[in-house]
Amino acid sequence: MTDPSRPWWADAVFYQVYPRSFQDSNGDGVGDLDGVSARLGYLKALGVDALWLNPVMVSPMADNGYDVADPRDIDPLFGDLAAMDRLTAAAHDLGMKVTMDLVPNHTSSAHPWFQAALAAGPGSTQRRRYIFRDGAGADGAEPPNNWLSIFGGPAWTRVTEADGRPGQWYLHLFDVEQPDLNWENPEVFDDLERTLRFWLDRGVDGFRIDVAHGMAKPRDLPDMPIVKPEMLLAEMDDDPRFNDDGVHEIHRRIRRVFDDYPDAVAIGEVWVYDNEQFARYVRPDELHLGFNFRLVRAGFDAADIRDAIENSMAAVELVGATPTWTLANHDVEREPTRYGGGPVGLARAKAMALVMLALPGAVFVYNGEELGLPNADLPDEALRDPVWERSGHTRRGRDGSRVPMPWQGDAPPFGFSDTADTWLPIPPEWSALTVEKQLADPSSTLTFFRRAIEFRCQRSEFDGPTVEMLDSPAGSVVFHASGGLVCVLNAGDGAIPLPEGEVLLASGDVVDGALPPDTAAWLV
């Protein structure tokens, strides 16, 4: 139940819309903003409080919009400013908030600033907006340091200067087409402030801030002590590319802009695991919320899950911030696949959804999670994620979790689009998982999610800021949320007895008071 004295986001259910894959309204095979508007009724009925839209700004789409060429306009692929305004207004009419994705660490190489930097040459003010350096070695033919790109290969690319000769190198922690900005240059913050105010003035309710532990870089750009190419989910606390102290001054400046919009929320993508280091991002004058990815990284293992919950809580308690929980997003494998695939993987995913939705704070549900979608196995030729090319075809990338939503009917594109030529192919076997079929089925994953979210929003047992772990049989996790809810997860091999109480909801069948493996239950 919502407490009016707390900010709206403090216990919100956020729903992540991957705009390319939610609903296509113009038949080009790619989802768009009018498509999202058309499906708001579905989201309202699911019970979500707020949307997070992955980037929809102008972009050549080298990394599906995380390469922004104009941060203050909508890419024609998704619509235009009027479509964004329509979506925001329609969501607000239904009582839902809309947050966008902000990409402050880098721009697209097509951004006018980067094009000007290339043209202007070494030493120019234009180059000082990015991180250009002379190369190492006698003729500057070696990259300035040993940093790797998250997507594979070196994090540096050499440019050709106006005289046609090989010249300086520029830094890109992600794709070659995503040059990192130089946050020591005051112009960079000034432009970000314009972008923030541009959208907040139009009525947007906040931002998810991409790579919020990036931005600042150590001035001398020291080598990485360990070079490990597989990233996003790797341990990065000792990595000079991220979590530089200077980043906190940037967050404080961003927060001062947000303070002019007291209802708006800033949610950072913070891949930092040390609790004290993480907590610094959510101090009262920095981000409102930070994604804590411990639950995503935990296997389906009682000790791992307990550890993820306890540490996520402990981190925010250090600074009195609000916890966040997420099991999935567009960068990771979907839960049913991650937890083993098939019926067992799905059962575990549903059990974990109950764990997540029992926890205090803000939760994030990724589109399709409520349908129990698995990762899709895509053929090589369908892959679009730059990770596939950049890794020399050794990592398949993240496309498998980005496939369009199956809405209705018996064959692709399942009402997602008018064309069967969707930007990623939808597996035909998802005919069993469509929204239409699941809405009609009281035992579907979607019905289960709707009931769970409804309880979370309406019952007072979900209120209360703390969680207490209780003793429980081996292989299980039992916690008591301070509002009164008890959540039991059985990640072991045999059935376990349920504690005293009335079962409010279970992710599988409870027989004679016993909870089977791969199942969770809520008790009041």
Q: Which residues are catalytic?
A: 210, 269
207 touches ligand GLC (CB under 6 A): no
- Residue ranges in 369-408 that form contacts with ligand GLC under rule CB under 6 A: none
Q: What span, in angstroms and rounded, lies between the C-alpha atoms of 491 and 463?
A: 25
- Residue ranges in 309-368 that form contacts with ligand GLC under rule CB under 6 A: 330-331
| For ligand GLC, the closer CB: 83 or 103 | 103
Residue with the CB atom nearest ligand GLC in the bound state:
66
| For ligand GLC, the closer CB: 104 or 465 | 104
| For ligand GLC, the closer CB: 24 or 269 | 269
231 touches ligand GLC (CB under 6 A): no
Which DSSP state fits 269? E
- Residue ranges in 158-177 that form contacts with ligand GLC under rule CB under 6 A: 174
Shortest spacing between CB 91 and ligand GLC, in angstroms: 22
User: For ligand GLC, what does the binding mask look like between residues 115 and 154, x meaning CB under 6 A?
Assistant: ----------------------------------------
User: For ligand GLC, what does the binding mask look like between residues 97 and 116, x meaning CB under 6 A?
Assistant: ------x-------------
Residues in contact with ligand GLC, counted by CB under 6 A, come to a total of: 9
Shortest spacing between CB 331 and ligand GLC, in angstroms: 5
| For ligand GLC, the closer CB: 180 or 370 | 180
Of 6, 5, 103, 17, which is closest to residue 61 (Cα–Cα)? 103
Q: Are 213 and 243 in contact (CB under 8 A)?
A: yes
Q: What span, in angstroms and rounded, lies between the C-alpha atoms of 165 and 39?
A: 53
| For ligand GLC, the closer CB: 34 or 331 | 331
What six digits make up the tokens of 328? 């999935």
- CA geometry: angle at 288 spanning 284 and 290, to 5°? 115
66 touches ligand GLC (CB under 6 A): yes
Sole binder of ligand GLC in the list 30, 84, 200, 211 (CB under 6 A): 211
Q: Compute φ and ψ for 52, nearest 5 degrees.
A: -115, 120
Residue listed under structure tokens 């350096």: 133
Half-sphere exposure for 60 (CA within 13 Å, toward CB): 14
Radius of gyration of the chain from Cα atoms? 23
Q: What span, in angstroms and rounded, lies between the C-alpha atoms of 127 and 122?
A: 7
210 touches ligand GLC (CB under 6 A): yes
Q: Exposed e or buried b for every residue in 27-61, given b needs 16+ CB within 10 A?
A: eebbbbbbbbbbbbebbeebbbbbbbbbbbbbbeb
Residues that bind ligand GLC (CB under 6 A): 63, 66, 103, 174, 210-211, 269, 330-331
